[in-house]
């Protein structure tokens, strides 16, 4: 990168000599504007027919129409060296390996874009289609949900690959700017009570209400794309119509107010955060407006941080361990005495015992870091990431970089990325118990909670990857 930059600098100086100071300033500006190229595209991903929805186990019938369309959005950013990152955001409950893996493979084989440069994020809307298609997760769900989900996922893979292909030839010079706003409707939902943690508003609980915004601006000053984040479940709504919830409305409002701009919502570490109040369409719209307003504030700040390159990417698996799995006898008891969800959980684990001769005791998933020069560290974590990860990494990763380079870096932590397998609790959440640490496992095919090493393993892998990505981004 340095060699290319030097060549540009020489051109600027010569131009400056010929056209005086004014020429130098103009040329310096135009050089800066070619530091990045970017392109962004939206594609509608609303299922073409009624299908089972994802997010609430209690739903007892398939979808009935839509409030508005669901979208996948593609943002490709290329640095001066030609290295690209592809960010795909989606109005979906999660990202599954069946969705990401074939897209990553095609990018790698046909475009030579490494899997580490593909970030896929889900808004976690609870009014999107069912994506679980595996035999184990399908068991107990009933109906044709699995086959339907597989068919939908396959069409989505094709659609997203085609959209990436369509976006690539449109790369044009941009500047990248970062700033952030705030929105106040996310609140911690883990209320401590004498009977343990309850799912209820907890105003004193940890929260991350920042709205980070990365905007790509064309040479004429117009905004091509705004990637923005928020750490909060998309659970204002729980009905039977497809809808992007507050994040869907925020994107819709921003695109209406900025013709020609693609607005991409990237879910943060909102695993233990809910939008409050909730349950009506009007409230989802209000939260969407609040979030869109926070993005507008960020877009209008007079001194946004200019983001420079080059890009550096790093991705690797972290391996987590589950606590000692239940025995066959314990599972049989659970099947006998549990509620319907506990019963079907026991069924899935008994089937695992039968088919594999044992119960899964480890789970591996990828963690990812995308580094933009010495300016911005974008961390993407799998699973329903709780807010402690964002709050902790903001400090841990910043301290590390300040010590090394004496600059103030921006740390942006996205959850719900690349493989949303279930909840990823922090050690605090795990020890406190409740839904995100323990209870939610009943709805998966995992045997039970993770061990106490969960946070330590995730954070140390992210620190390692951040070092690699920062080295590559020099
Ligand atoms: Zn969730």
CA torsion through residues 264, 402, 305, 38, sign: negative
CA–centroid distance, 384 to ligand 1, in Å, is 6
CA–centroid distance, 190 to ligand 1, in Å, is 13
Cβ-based neighbours of 16, under 8 Å, separated by 6 or more: 23, 24, 27, 28
Going from the C-alpha of 468 to that of each of 454, 460, 461, 462, the distances in angstroms are: 22, 13, 11, 10
N-to-C CA span, the chain: 8
CA–centroid distance, 76 to ligand 1, in Å, is 28
φ, ψ at 451 (rounded to 5°): -80, 175
Helix axis angle for 340-356 and 328-337, nearest 10°, is: 150
CA–centroid distance, 435 to ligand 1, in Å, is 10
Report the C-alpha gap between 321 and 323 in whole angstroms.
7
pLDDT tens, N- to C-terminus, the chain (474 residues): 434 433 333 333 333 332 233 333 334 444 444 799 999 999 999 999 999 999 988 888 999 999 999 999 999 999 999 999 999 999 999 999 999 999 999 999 999 999 999 999 999 999 999 998 865 444 445 557 888 999 999 999 999 999 999 999 999 999 999 999 999 999 999 999 999 999 999 999 999 999 999 999 999 999 999 999 999 999 999 999 999 999 999 999 999 999 999 999 999 999 999 999 999 999 999 999 999 999 999 999 999 999 999 999 999 999 999 999 999 999 999 999 989 889 989 998 999 999 999 999 999 999 999 999 999 999 999 999 999 999 999 999 987 666 666 677 899 999 999 999 999 999 999 999 999 999 999 888 899 899 999 999 999 999 999 999 999 999
CA–centroid distance, 179 to ligand 1, in Å, is 27
CA–centroid distance, 173 to ligand 1, in Å, is 38
Closest CA to 229 of 256, 247, 254, 202: 247
Residues with CB under 5 A from ligand 1 (ion): 384
User: How does strand 186-188 pair with strand 273-275?
Assistant: antiparallel
pLDDT for residue 23? 34
Closest CA to 11 of 40, 26, 31, 37: 31
CA–centroid distance, 351 to ligand 1, in Å, is 25
pLDDT for residue 34? 78
pLDDT for residue 334? 93
pLDDT for residue 401? 67
The domain segmentation of the chain, as residue ranges, is 36-311, 326-359
The model's pLDDT over 133-185, given as tens digits with 9 standing for 90+, comes to: 865 444 445 557 888 999 999 999 999 999 999 999 999 999 999 999 999 99
CA–centroid distance, 67 to ligand 1, in Å, is 21
CA–centroid distance, 308 to ligand 1, in Å, is 34
Q: State the Cα angle at 385 between 388 and 167, rounded to 5°.
A: 125
CA–centroid distance, 253 to ligand 1, in Å, is 24
């Amino acid at each position: 990168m340095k060699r290319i930059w030097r060549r540009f600098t020489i051109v600027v100086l010569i131009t400056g000599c010929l056209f005086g100071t004014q020429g130098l300033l103009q040329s310096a500006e135009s050089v800066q504007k070619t530091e990045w190229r970017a392109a962004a595209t939206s594609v509608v991903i609303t299922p073409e027919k009624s299908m089972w929805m994802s997010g609430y186990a209690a739903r007892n019938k398939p979808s009935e129409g839509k409030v508005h369309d669901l979208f996948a959005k593609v943002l490709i950013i290329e640095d001066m060296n030609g290295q690209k990152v592809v960010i795909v955001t989606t109005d979906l409950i999660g990202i599954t390996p069946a969705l990401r893996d074939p897209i990553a493979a095609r990018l790698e084989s046909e475009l030579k874009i490494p899997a580490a440069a593909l970030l896929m994020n889900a808004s976690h809307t609870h009014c999107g289609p069912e994506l679980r298609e595996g035999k184990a997760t399908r068991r107990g769900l009933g109906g044709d949900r699995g086959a339907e989900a597989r068919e939908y996922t396959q069409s989505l893979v094709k659609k997203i690959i085609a959209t990436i292909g369509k976006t690539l030839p449109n790369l044009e010079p941009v500047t990248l700017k970062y700033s952030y706003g705030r929105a106040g409707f996310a609140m911690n939902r883990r209320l401590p009570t004498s009977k343990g943690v309850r799912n209820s508003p907890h105003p004193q609980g940890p929260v991350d209400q920042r709205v980070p915004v990365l905007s790509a601006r064309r040479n004429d000053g117009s905004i091509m794309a705004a990637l923005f984040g928020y750490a909060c479940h998309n659970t204002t709504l729980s009905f039977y119509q497809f809808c992007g919830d507050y994040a869907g409305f925020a994107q819709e409002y921003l695109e209406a107010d900025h013709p020609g701009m693609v607005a991409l919502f990237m879910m943060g570490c909102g695993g233990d955060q809910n939008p409050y109040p909730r349950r009506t369409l009007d409230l989802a719209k209000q939260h969407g407006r609040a979030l869109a307003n926070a993005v507008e504030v960020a877009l209008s700040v007079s001194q946004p941080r200019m983001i420079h390159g080059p890009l550096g990417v790093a991705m690797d698996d972290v391996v987590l361990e589950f606590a000692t799995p239940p025995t066959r006898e314990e599972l049989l008891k659970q099947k006998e005495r549990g509620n319907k969800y506990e019963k079907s959980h026991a069924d899935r684990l008994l089937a695992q015992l039968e088919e594999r001769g044992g119960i899964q005791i480890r789970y591996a998933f990828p963690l990812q870091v995308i580094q933009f020069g010495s300016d911005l560290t974008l961390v993407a974590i799998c699973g329903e990431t709780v807010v402690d990860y964002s709050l902790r990494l903001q400090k841990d990763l910043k301290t590390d970089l300040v010590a090394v380079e004496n600059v103030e870096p921006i740390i942006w932590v996205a959850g719900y990325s690349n493989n949303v397998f279930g909840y990823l609790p922090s050690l605090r959440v795990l020890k406190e118990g409740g839904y995100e640490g323990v209870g939610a496992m009943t709805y998966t095919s995992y045997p039970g909670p993770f061990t106490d090493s969960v946070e330590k393993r995730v954070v140390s892998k992210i620190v390692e990857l951040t070092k690699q990505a920062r080295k590559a981004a020099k």
